[in-house]
Chain A
Amino acid sequence: MKAVDPEHSNRFAAQVAEKLGADESIVISAVANERMASFANSSVAVTKNVNETSQMVYIAKGGRRIIGSSSNPQRESLERFITLLYKSMLTLPKDPGYVPLPSKSRTFAGRPRYDRKLESAETLIADSVDEAIRAAESAGASRAAGSLETGVTTHYIATSSGTVGRDTSSKVLLNVRAFTEKDASGHGLSCSANVSGFRPAKAGARAGRDSKRMRDARQLKDDASTYQVLMSPAVASNLLSLVGGFASAFSIEAGTSYLVGKLGKKVASEGLELTDMGTGEGCLEGRTFDDEGQPTQSTKVIERGVLASYLHNLSTAKRFRTRSTGNAGLIEPAPWNLEVGAGDSGYEEMVKEMKRGLVLTSNWYTRFKNYRTGEFSTVPRDGTYLVENGEVKAPIKGIRVGDSLERMFSSIRLMSKEREWVQWWEVDTPTLCPWVLVDGVTVTKAYGQRPQVEG
């Protein structure tokens, strides 16, 4: 059994589809090389290495279409798989969403700049984990947990209209959490497309400092109240990356977005700019081509607080009478990388602006009461601080933030000049994001007494 080169594999798959009688085909192969080290209690728990080649195959005939994904790159398996796809497609009715692929062929040469150092990164991983743990402990943590991941992925495309190309991206992500006591923790991230922008010690130190500051955290007095909330790039990007997803035309059609019917309308404060980028300086993911072989681009989703565009593939663009924004997803258009426009404030200045507020450095478990209205809640964790009259007064624990995305982002007071790339467990779409200060956010705490925790 012999594995085939991805470009040959794409051509082979396209030939099989054509031979079977398909009118159109798109084959995208992805070759991913990912490495990771997970650590807990300042000790490496596991190292991981995953080499995976997968194919996304789209075929269409007479207005019928089907999508397949396979991780069996061997020729025999691929041929068997495409034959199954073709036969299954013929049993389906014509698809009302079908749009022919543009006849114009394109060649995507790929980006010259990805970091080859991340192709073989064992030493980098081990040294960086060590550096992050030491920095966290030096800053006051008694132990650190986290994961460090490096990835280099190349996508290859071939379509029946003659489009071919390849594109490689690289990234290194560190997520570190430091602990002093059971309830005292801090969080740090360093996310970069290359080694030169990677700062493991800075992330470790930030987590360590917050874990120390969170000792003796207390609960808020009120069960529910409104506060000004200063969100770190990690917290703001969790929510704003969701806004990017809600801008997908698929979500609009499915009614699972609060942005339904709001194109051209004000959905946020004037200072908010949200842009999707297929590729660009510092982008952690994305490609030069989308799943339909269309070039990706930079799309303003929110411009000066106004909803400027949904994200489209060819099919949704036709129904919305507009042009594809290069965000296919054959079924569901999706953002590639999001950029939130910078403000003009510094962190200290933003804290001084707060009369009664909370600084949130990390959050998790954001869930929606209703996607159509954008009502949600999320649970702050790690460094969380009460601010009164411009001064940080006390570390706070045991709170929940609940609001609607539109209300929240229509109440932005300030945003920072400084921005950070964020991608981790709680942020799927890489997002370049500033600190964001918003007014009038509802904060609640749970009913019931805390138990005596043993150990």
Chain B
Amino acid sequence: MRLLEEYKDLAEYCVKESRRLGAEYAEARIHGGTGTGFLLKNGEPQPSMIDDSFGIGARVIVGGAMGFSATNLLSKDAVKELTAKTMKMAKSSARLVKEPIGMGESKPAKRKVRVVEKEKIEGGDPTWLKSLLLDIDKRVVGLQKEGRGVKIPNRMMVASTGAEEKYVVTSDGAQVESRIPRFHFFGIFTAIKGAGAAQRMIQQGETGGLEIVERIRLRELVEDEARTLMEVLGEAEKAPTGIMDVVLSPELSGIAAHESVGHPQEADRILGREGAQAGESYLSRDSLGMKVGSEDANVSDDPTLANSNGFSPVDDEGVVSQKRRLIVNGKISELLQNRATSSLLGVKNNGSSRSAGFDREPIIRMSNTFVEPGDYATTEDLIKEVKDGIYLKSFTEWNIDDKRLNQRYIGLEAYRIRKGETTSLVRAPVLEITTPALWGSVRGRSKRLEFEAASCGKGDPMQGIPVWTGGPDTLLSGVRIVGGT
């Protein structure tokens, strides 16, 4: 936190100077951190990467117009110049502002946010990362002996450690200091058998220290996934086509919750602010209470989950973040809000504003979005409910339209269910379905709640931000599956 400490007064100066120049609201954020990454390609180490970045981002509202500026020249003179420029830009755009922006009344937080690290994240240097990845690679390569002709010749893995540090000050009194250490893993594995190929992307990430690797059993997890990938390529049969029951694993439940519940319930998207890039929403500002799913459809977003990839207990507008119940018993219950949208819609601000770096404005983001767990004790108990259907355990291709109404997930590890039991692996079943049809078909959920790490993209310039997606096993009743080749 040494650098952050050094620059705190610049953030405070920036806010005072903005107010002196006439800003109705001002906010400054010292934001940066250090990180180390290591890439292993087919068992060969690539040059290690070390990042070190700090800067200041400032936002003002003047005459209903918003201005955002950022620089990494961290001197008082540079910040003074930055502040003047931000104010000038905002004022000069006022003639084109037809919908004046207000920040309303949100309770400003004063807090220091810390994450427990049993093993300091700084210990994750290039040598440590290299050893970890070589160990995983060795396990995956070892599987090929038993692969019955299936090989995994292409193995690309990136592991990274780092700490994100922030100091946020606002003109209404927020002062929030945070240090969020993270570990992240990403891998793409390609299995080949003859002319056939199958591919698995694995992403894992949490907040905390190096103990994360053991906590999530990363080595074993990747080895298991690689083994399954080989089985999928070697054994999967043609998937059936038709209307049937489908059980979604936590991985599938999570991606569906993120794409077709979290995104369309971002208030800025509903109000049109993302219209030209990430799009708008099938919902409108009057959709609270609207029925979009069955009684069993319950989806939340919780930035306070310990160890989570999307951990963000106070947002980047200096407001305490809270768990949001997005869909309760099939009805739209709450939207993701920031200062401006909650003020405009006249609702409570639930602190959803985050930015990916000092040079990016804070915008509404999900944190950890998930289907709430249900009553079925185990996955097997839920599968017992299905006479003839599909269990989608992992996925490859996925996408959704920009109103978040028309989505598709293609299964990778997927099983045929017959008479309440999983039987054979099936190849690439496609679930292509509208949002109300998906959530309207939910008939049961298991108790196990699991999460996957992801990087969520939004904003212009693009901001990728760490999140978790998750849920239990979720039973969909009577949906269309299209079998592949």
Contacts and interface: CB of A to CB of B under 8 A. Distances in A.
Q: Do A and B interact?
A: yes
Interface of A: 1-3, 34-54, 58, 65-74, 77, 81, 84-85, 88-89, 91-93, 95-97, 122, 126, 129-130, 133, 143, 145-147, 149, 175-177, 179, 182-183, 223-224, 250, 253-256, 330-331, 364-373, 375-379, 381, 398, 400, 425, 444-451, 453-455
Contacts of A448: 433-438, 440, 479
Given A446-B434, A453-B282, A372 B67 contact: no
Given A70-B52, A84-B50, A447-B479, A377 B66 contact: no
Contacts of B428: 369
Contacts of A398: 401, 405-406
A46 B66 contact: yes
Contact of A372 (B190, B279, B402, B410): B190
Nearest to B363: A46
A256 B156 contact: yes
A52 B96 contact: no
Interface stretch (B82-90, B308-316, B381-389): B82-90
B378 interface: no
Given A40-B273, A425-B460, A425-B462, A371 B199 contact: yes
Given A254-B41, A365-B399, A447-B434, 12 more contacts: A40-B271, A47-B66, A49-B70, A66-B47, A74-B74, A95-B47, A130-B96, A254-B154, A372-B199, A381-B279, A448-B433, A454-B290
Given A43-B99, A454-B284, A122 B292 contact: no
Given A41-B99, A398-B406, A449-B436, A73 B73 contact: yes
Contacts of A381: 279, 401-402
B51 A38 contact: no
Contacts of A66: 47-50, 126
B173 interface: no
B460 A379 contact: no
Nearest to A258: B197
A451 B282 contact: yes
B65 A47 contact: yes
28 contacts: A2-B75, A34-B461, A40-B273, A41-B271, A45-B66, A47-B93, A54-B53, A65-B47, A66-B48, A66-B50, A69-B51, A81-B50, A88-B36, A88-B50, A91-B125, A93-B130, A97-B44, A126-B92, A256-B154, A256-B156, A365-B400, A366-B399, A371-B188, A400-B408, A446-B437, A447-B432, A454-B287, A454-B290
Given A126-B93, A365-B399, A400-B406, A446 B101 contact: no
B397 to A, nearest CB: 4
Nearest to B190: A255
B424 interface: no
Contacts of B114: none
Contact of B402 (A40, A89, A133, A364): A364
Interface in B67-111: 67-75, 78, 82, 85-86, 88-90, 92-93, 95-99, 101
A52 B397 contact: no
A368 B126 CA distance: 31
Closest 10 CB pairs of A and B: A448-B437, A255-B154, A455-B284, A145-B275, A448-B434, A447-B480, A43-B98, A369-B397, A365-B399, A255-B190
B354 to A, nearest CB: 16
A89 B36 CA distance: 12
Interface in B4-42: 32, 36, 39, 41-42
